[in-house]
Chains A and B, each alone.
Chain A
Amino acid sequence: MNILKFFTAGSVDDGKSTLIGRLLYDTDSILADQLEALQASNRKNDDGTIDLAILTDGLRAEREQGITIDVAYKYFQTEKRKFIIADTPGHIQYTRNMVTGASTAKLAIILIDARNGVVEQTIRHSYLVSLLGIEHVVVCLNKMDMVGYSETVFNAITEKYKALAAELNLKEVTFIPVSALKGDNVVNESEHMQWYQGRSLLHFLESVDVEDALPYNLARMPVQWVIRPQTDELHDYRGYAGRILSGSFNVDDKVTVLPSGHSSVIDRIEIFDQRPVEAFAGQSVTIHLKDNIDISRGDVLVNSDHLPQSSQVIEADLCWMDARPLDDSITYLLQHNSKITKCKIREIVYKVDINTLAKQDAHDFKLNDIGRVVLKTADELPFDLYTENKANGAAILVDSRTNLTVAALMFRNVSY
């Protein structure tokens, strides 16, 4: 059994929290004491049934205001799969929280209120999905009960969204008509929409294939920690510990250490007490090399036949996440996996109006702004393009005055 992480984009008005509540409720994932607390709550639907949305609004301020402010993670499982839901806020002022929730997701659920169709918010959410390179998109047309479960309405919105998906280069889009409130096509198939031949949302989530597939073996492992017991019996033990970002490493593979550029051959791979001959993306391992070379935290081991790009000047998409605006006169810290280097913003190429997708000239970046910049780093950075290898194509910016994470970066090109 494997795990699928997905996130939901939409606002409370679209019934997002209700949809998640419904997924949990109809898969029997809500326990009696939680249900008891739910029933004791004052918030009820108009018809007196329990308001499932409460299940996901965790913070006091969120319950008071009836909105989602921060990302909440929810867990449930069926016989086929385990699921982690990142429940993210939909309002524009919480764009950074949505980017946060989306960054680790393999699938996005975009909610559309069937009464309103594709609106500004839909464009914004879809743009973020495209920006973050989420491979699978499910568009849930919610509140179908409010439009008479109409196939015509469904088809019209679907056609409109397909045009948007093409513009944003979204590849795999699936459309499902649902009513989160009434439970149609969320877990159980609807009796009200005989015209819909597809699967319910849950059945789709259970069966969608979300394995990563890279065109080449872009084996990368950032070194997090060097294990050196320095005891008598393990005097020469020197293991490079890290989690493989992408690709696979085999014993006897030729690897290059970056940024130094030294090469060696893998002597053995350890996963605690096991000695596999091959290790894959996602596994936390300890690698031993045949040669004794100087390697420390922040270095990265890569497949010598498929080296990443290396540069100090990089073009990147940036999402600004701090209340203090970007300041191109100060030096930030760029954290790329286990590597931290100083960084300046050399140029703002453009900013995107995320409601209309128009690119604009810009001189500043404020909270939730997204656009293209050119970065200059103090050290040369070994990276892959985000579109080619997400795992090695992203970084964060940290403001060393406040230590806050101020931006998400996705590398798009080497800039000269």
Chain B
Amino acid sequence: MSKVNLDYLDELEAEAIHILREVAGQFEKPALLFSGGKDSITLVRLAEKAFRPGKFPFPLVHIDTGHNFEETITFRDQMIDRIGEKLIVGYVQESIDEGKVIEQTGKNASRNALQTVTLLDTIAKYGFDACIGGARRDEEKARAKERIFSVRDEFGQWDPKRQRPELWNIYNGRIHKGENVRVFPISNWTELDVWNYIKREKMELPSIYFAHERDCITRNGQLMAASPFLNMDEEDIVERKKVRFRTVGDMSCTAAVSSDATELDDIIAEISASKISERGARMDDKVSEAAMEDRKKGGYF
């Protein structure tokens, strides 16, 4: 009989589509967590491939820190218009106003950690039983051990020691009331795979992924975008730089890299040659060797 050896992007795509359809089939109220970053944009593309010409069997959920890059929000709204799917936004500002979280102070203050509370509240408010996210195992050591279907208790906590065995391509999504499952369809993709897929699929991205001129300051050896969300003082010198961003997070914790890459091919070449990992540009991961593991145990994405 005939055999086929799928190209790696086709294989990764087919696996992700299978996972998305399992979510649709196994859960009552799933949601897709959308950050405006390239990984969640990739998830949207995969959802189109999994469910068109039907509608998505889930809404998109964005946890808005209020400290966004403006370009990301513009992109998000245009994308929602194009795909015609439902968007739900959870605002960190509301969590602050309601006194559920307290804004950090000090020079390295960020709303990144506060997002977790808003996320869990949004999950509870809408009763989501599964949240699809764009995390990848190659990003970080704790993520390398997480299942594709990752069960969280009613406090949103991940318990790395009590993970369910995940065998073959069979995903067990059964949960008790109040629990939910985080699902990671692109677990097995690398950063470079995502970029090659974006290129192959001719996908649109927020402009901040491409090199542009921007006012920056240097802090802890990294380039940060000057913005009202960053606590700056007289020691911070603002310089005009040509930069781009490798990940899209909060403006206060996402570092830029110096770059002349204005086209996808330039970015792919840059990443192939890069000696710094993607999360190396995230201040939030620099805190300790187990920073991500601790945040995931607390309910983070």
Q: Confirm or deny: B5 has a beta carbon within 8 angstroms of a beta carbon on chain A.
A: yes
Bound form: Cα–Cα A74–B138 in Å: 7
The B154-191 residues at the A interface (CB cut-off 8 A) are: 160-161, 163-170, 172, 174-176, 187-188, 190
Bound form: Cα–Cα A30–B299 in Å: 28
The B7-58 residues at the A interface (CB cut-off 8 A) are: 7-8, 10-15, 17-18, 21-22, 24-25, 48-55, 57
Specify which chain B residues have a CB less than 8 angstroms from the CB of A32 in the assembled complex: 275-276, 280
Q: Confirm or deny: B6 has a beta carbon within 8 angstroms of a beta carbon on chain A.
A: yes
Q: Confirm or deny: B199 has a beta carbon within 8 angstroms of a beta carbon on chain A.
A: no
Interface size grouping (class) on chain A: 35 or more
Q: Confirm or deny: B144 has a beta carbon within 8 angstroms of a beta carbon on chain A.
A: yes
Q: Is the CB of A70 within 8 A of B160?
A: yes
Q: Which of A184-192, A348-356, A369-377, A402-410 lines the interface with chain B?
A: A402-410
Bound form: Cα–Cα A75–B8 in Å: 13
Q: Is the CB of A229 within 8 A of B167?
A: no
Number of interchain pairs (Cβ within 8 Å): 180
Bound form: Cα–Cα A228–B18 in Å: 18
Q: Confirm or deny: A225 has a beta carbon within 8 angstroms of a beta carbon on chain B.
A: yes
B111 to chain A, nearest CB (A): 24
Specify which chain B residues have a CB less than 8 angstroms from the CB of A212 in the assembled complex: 3
Bound form: Cα–Cα A228–B13 in Å: 22
Bound form: Cα–Cα A96–B166 in Å: 10
Bound form: Cα–Cα A335–B6 in Å: 27
Q: Is the CB of B25 within 8 A of A225?
A: yes
Q: Confirm or deny: B235 has a beta carbon within 8 angstroms of a beta carbon on chain A.
A: no
Q: Is the CB of B170 within 8 A of A228?
A: no
Bound form: Cα–Cα A100–B147 in Å: 11
Bound form: Cα–Cα A303–B99 in Å: 60
B189 to chain A, nearest CB (A): 9
The A239-273 residues at the B interface (CB cut-off 8 A) are: 241-243, 247-248, 271-272
Contact of A103 among B52, B54, B141, B168 (CB under 8 A): B168
Q: Is the CB of A97 within 8 A of B165?
A: yes
Contact of A284 among B13, B289, B290, B293 (CB under 8 A): B13
The A358-416 residues at the B interface (CB cut-off 8 A) are: 391, 394-396, 398, 400, 403-405, 408
Q: Is the CB of B21 within 8 A of A70?
A: no
The closest CB in chain A to the CB of B193 belongs to: A82
User: With A75-B190, A284-B21 given, is the CB distance from A395 to B11 under 8 Å?
Assistant: no
Q: Is the CB of B161 within 8 A of A224?
A: no
B182 to chain A, nearest CB (A): 15
Q: Confirm or deny: B287 has a beta carbon within 8 angstroms of a beta carbon on chain A.
A: no
Most A Cβ at <10 Å: residue of B3, B54, B57: B54
Bound form: Cα–Cα A227–B17 in Å: 14
B159 to chain A, nearest CB (A): 11
The A54-100 residues at the B interface (CB cut-off 8 A) are: 57-61, 63, 69-75, 77, 82, 84, 96-97, 99-100
Encode B127-149 as 1/0 by CB contact (under 8 A) with A.
00000000001100110110000
The B53-67 residues at the A interface (CB cut-off 8 A) are: 53-55, 57
Bound form: Cα–Cα A100–B11 in Å: 20
Bound form: Cα–Cα A405–B161 in Å: 14
Q: State the main secondary structure of chain B at its contact with A.
A: loop
Q: Confirm or deny: B108 has a beta carbon within 8 angstroms of a beta carbon on chain A.
A: no
Specify which chain B residues have a CB less than 8 angstroms from the CB of A70 in the assembled complex: 145, 160-161, 163
Bound form: Cα–Cα A184–B75 in Å: 51
The A13-38 residues at the B interface (CB cut-off 8 A) are: 31-34, 37
Contact of A403 among B15, B57, B176 (CB under 8 A): B176
Specify which chain B residues have a CB less than 8 angstroms from the CB of A33 in the assembled complex: 276-277, 280
Specify which chain A residues have a CB less than 8 angstroms from the CB of B289 in the assembled complex: 37, 41, 60, 63
Q: Is the CB of A243 within 8 A of B55?
A: no
Specify which chain B residues have a CB less than 8 angstroms from the CB of A408 in the assembled complex: 165, 167
A88 to chain B, nearest CB (A): 11
Contact of B14 among A61, A73, A82, A243 (CB under 8 A): A243
Q: Confirm or deny: A293 has a beta carbon within 8 angstroms of a beta carbon on chain B.
A: no
Bound form: Cα–Cα A71–B274 in Å: 27
A263 to chain B, nearest CB (A): 21
A410 to chain B, nearest CB (A): 10
Specify which chain A residues have a CB less than 8 angstroms from the CB of B24 in the assembled complex: 224-225
Bound form: Cα–Cα A217–B11 in Å: 20
Bound form: Cα–Cα A211–B6 in Å: 10
Q: Is the CB of B8 within 8 A of A2?
A: yes
Q: Which of A117-125, A139-147, A159-167, A275-283 lines the interface with chain B?
A: A275-283
Specify which chain B residues have a CB less than 8 angstroms from the CB of A398 in the assembled complex: 172, 174
The closest CB in chain A to the CB of B21 belongs to: A224
Contact of A104 among B48, B55, B169, B280 (CB under 8 A): B169
Q: Confirm or deny: A330 has a beta carbon within 8 angstroms of a beta carbon on chain B.
A: no
Specify which chain A residues have a CB less than 8 angstroms from the CB of B57 in the assembled complex: 225
Listed A/B pairs (25) with beta-carbon separation below 8 Å = A2-B8, A2-B11, A34-B277, A37-B289, A58-B141, A58-B142, A59-B142, A59-B293, A60-B290, A63-B289, A70-B161, A70-B163, A74-B144, A75-B138, A100-B166, A216-B1, A217-B1, A224-B18, A225-B24, A227-B54, A229-B55, A241-B21, A243-B14, A243-B15, A405-B172
List the 5 closest A-B pairs by CB distance, nearest first. Answer: A58-B141, A33-B280, A284-B17, A280-B4, A32-B275
Interface, chain B (partner A; CB < 8 A): 1-8, 10-15, 17-18, 21-22, 24-25, 48-55, 57, 137-138, 141-142, 144-145, 160-161, 163-170, 172, 174-176, 187-188, 190, 192, 274-277, 280, 289-290, 293
Given contacts A34-B277, A284-B49, 6 further A-B contacts (CB under 8 A): A58-B141, A61-B161, A71-B145, A227-B51, A248-B2, A272-B48
